[in-house]
Amino acid sequence: MDKKKWPGRAVLPVAVPGIKYIILAILVTGMFFYFGWMVPAWVAAVLGVYVCWFFRDPDRVVPEGDHNLVSPADGRVVAVERLAKTEYLEEPCQKVSIFMNIFNVHVNRMPFDGVVEKVVYTPGKFINASFDKASIHNERNALTIRTPGKKRFAVVQVAGLVARRIVNCVAAGDRVIRGERYGMIQFGSRLDLYLPLDFQVQVKKGDTARAGSTIIGQMLKNP
């Protein structure tokens, strides 16, 4: 897992963690063209374009409303369920899972305002992140956040079959703001939200979400 400072807004059209990969792709492509190896050069060029596109970091308009909790990731909602027990929250909760394929924007954003109480990184396997068991067995990084109304929720970055690096840019004690960038998972992954039972979920399995702009639901009392 990488821990880096993330800029508050996009200073480049690509995410900062992707710059080294983009530079590498340019160098490899240029080397192939220099030596006249045209087939691998064009293959490298196409892959280089994909790498640039994968690390795109578009600005988003965060919806207003103090009670609204927004999606932490782009992707497809693959689970909405209630859980009696979880390693992240002491009380029963609701879980919303979002699967990011390799074509989605992979920059992660804060779902809600609050203070980070705990950051827990867990090494693990790299099972396909669309499977529910990935939430338990895969490499992951969990943030437990306390809202201004003293509620707690957790947002968990889960590495997937192709993803091999989790980037998290916040630490315990940091004050976070809904919609701000805080990290990414490189090359396919999953985001799990663990929310209080009185949270009103507005999405359902199969819905498409956009980080920072899709409303997942509302904190109904004292957000």
Element (H, E) at 195: strand 189-196
Whether 183 contacts 169, CB under 8 Å: yes
The question of whether 189 is a catalytic residue gets the answer yes
Element (H, E) at 139: none
In a 3-state reduction of DSSP, which class is residue 40? helix
Q: CA-CA distance, 4 to 183, in Å (whole number)?
A: 8
Whether 13 contacts 56, CB under 8 Å: yes
| DSSP 8-class letter at 174 | -
The neighbouring-strand residues paired with 215 are 70
Whether 129 contacts 139, CB under 8 Å: no
Catalytic residue among 97, 130, 135, 189: 189
Q: CA-CA distance, 185 to 191, in Å (whole number)?
A: 9
Whether 213 contacts 61, CB under 8 Å: yes
Element (H, E) at 61: none
Q: At what angle do helices 38-54 and 19-34 cross, to 10 degrees?
A: 170
* Catalytic residue ranges: 189
